[in-house]
Amino acid sequence: MDAKPFILVTGANGFLVTWIVHRLLENGNRVRAATRSLDRGTYLRELFSSYSGSLEIVAVGDMTEPNAFDKAVAGVEGIIHTASPVTTVADDPEELIRPAVKGVTGILESARDHGTCIRRIVITSSCAAIVDTSDVQVTVSEKDWNDQRVQECETLSRNASGLSKYSASKTLAERAAWDFVDANKERISWDLTTINPPYIFGPTIHDVKDPDSLNSSSILYYNAVVKNNFFGADPLTSPSHAWVDVRDVAAAHVKALETPSAGGERIIVSAGSWVWQDMINTALSLPGSIYRPHPDVTGPKEVTTRLITFESGKQKRILGLSLGSLEECVRDILLDYAKRGWYP
């Protein structure tokens, strides 16, 4: 791609996407940030006021409506599409699946029909589209798909677990994106990359008022590390998934736009496997001025089992990513809490 292209970013109010906008602006890109309404762009304008000449806010309304993104895609050279439900709270699975799939296919249709300058589209998928839990030790890669959760939702419908509904939405949305590209090869001039992160943690720069208004992964983190509340899970064995710093995921999206060889690739961005005890142990290793443990925390404990390993070689081989450490991530989260008056 040309240096410093004009980029459309969707879902521009969230935890990850605000960091993506920040990264793009720092990188020298012009950014068109798509929000549901212009009012929702007020915080972004204020946060990035020093980049006012490079940031444009556009309202797209309900992204599941036909042609929602038609005007937004006009004139941009790249798209980062992050807008999708990130919650496990739903009755009918379609409450999550429909907006996730329609949002993806809708923006790709608009890009096909109205995006005359577009050369690369990057979609935020998830490791939940690869695997979400396991009872045995397993190593997975970009070749794997979490089809079992789709089948569970098809079979159990409203009785499927919240995690299944979320994972099915991510799986079906990403599959829809790749299927769209395959079906429209003769009609598009751009290619596609998907970024598949696991649990995303890190300091917050989007608009939050208190811990209860944090995004889903961050509120889990706050409850675990500050309140020692794991909602009944064993911190020595749960969630036994992978983690990554939000700032590294933002960097991955920008690099995916700029790296020619990223086209057509599905890329896991992961810093490694973890359980909650890893977060507690890391916090305990920090100076006491940064982490004051909950009274029920008795000290570090050895972790012996982490069940899921994600093969993440592409993040270095293709994107050239060098990820931050767990210590850096935990430290910066706690410092962010302190700055906001949420802790200790």
DSSP result, 276-304: HHHHHHHHHTS-TTT----TT--S-----
Q: What is the pLDDT of residue 1?
A: 46
Bridge-based pairing state of the strands 30-35 and 55-59 = parallel
Peptide bond just before 239 cis, omega within 30 deg: yes
Q: What is the pLDDT of residue 40?
A: 83
For residue 270, being part of any structural domain is answered with: yes
So which residues are the catalytic ones?
A: 170
Tens of pLDDT, residue by residue over 204-260, are: 999 999 999 999 999 999 999 999 999 999 999 999 999 999 999 999 999 999 999
Give me the long-range contacts of 96-101 (CB less than 8 A, separation at least 24).
96/165, 96/166, 96/168, 96/169, 97/153, 97/165, 97/168, 97/169, 97/172, 97/173, 98/64, 99/63, 99/64, 100/169, 100/170, 100/172, 100/173, 101/169, 101/172, 101/173, 101/176
Whether residue 251 contacts residue 197, with contact meaning beta carbons closer than 8 Å, is answered with: no
Bridge-based pairing state of the strands 199-201 and 272-274 = unpaired
Whether residue 154 contacts residue 92, with contact meaning beta carbons closer than 8 Å, is answered with: no
Q: What is the pLDDT of residue 3?
A: 63
Per-residue pLDDT of the chain (344 residues; tens, 9 = 90+): 446 899 999 987 899 999 999 999 999 999 999 998 888 889 999 999 999 889 999 999 888 888 999 999 999 999 999 977 666 778 899 999 999 999 999 999 999 999 999 999 999 999 999 999 999 999 999 999 999 999 999 999 999 999 999 999 999 999 999 999 999 999 999 999 999 999 999 999 999 999 999 999 999 999 999 999 999 999 999 999 999 999 999 999 999 999 999 999 999 999 999 999 999 999 999 998 999 999 999 899 999 989 999 999 999 999 999 999 999 999 999 999 999 999 87
DSSP state of 137: -
- Convert 158-178 to b/e letters by CB count within 10 Å (16 or more is b): eebeeebbbbbbbbbbbbbbb
Residue appearing with tokens 């696991």: 198
Q: How far apart are alpha carbons 170 and 96 in whole angstroms?
A: 9
In 3D space, the residue among 19, 30, 83, 84 whose CA is nearest the CA of residue 57 turns out to be: 30
Domain of 101, in residue numbers: 6-340
- Three-state secondary structure call for residue 86: coil
Question: Where would I find the H helices in the chain?
Answer: 15-27, 42-47, 94-114, 147-156, 162-183, 216-225, 246-258, 276-284, 313-317, 326-340
For residue 1, being part of any structural domain is answered with: no
Residue appearing with tokens 């994106």: 177
Rounded (10°) CA dihedral 275, 281, 283, 288: 160
Peptide bond just before 197 cis, omega within 30 deg: no
Domain count, the chain: 1
Residues with Cβ within 8 Å of 306's Cβ and at least 6 positions away in sequence, in order, are 240, 273, 274, 275
Instruction: Give CA separation, 22 vs 60, 111, 266, 268, in Å.
Output: 21, 23, 23, 22
Question: Where would I find the H helices in 115-161?
Answer: 147-156
What CATH number does the domain containing 115 carry? 3.40.50.720
Structure tokens at 173: 């949305």
Q: What is the pLDDT of residue 63?
A: 86
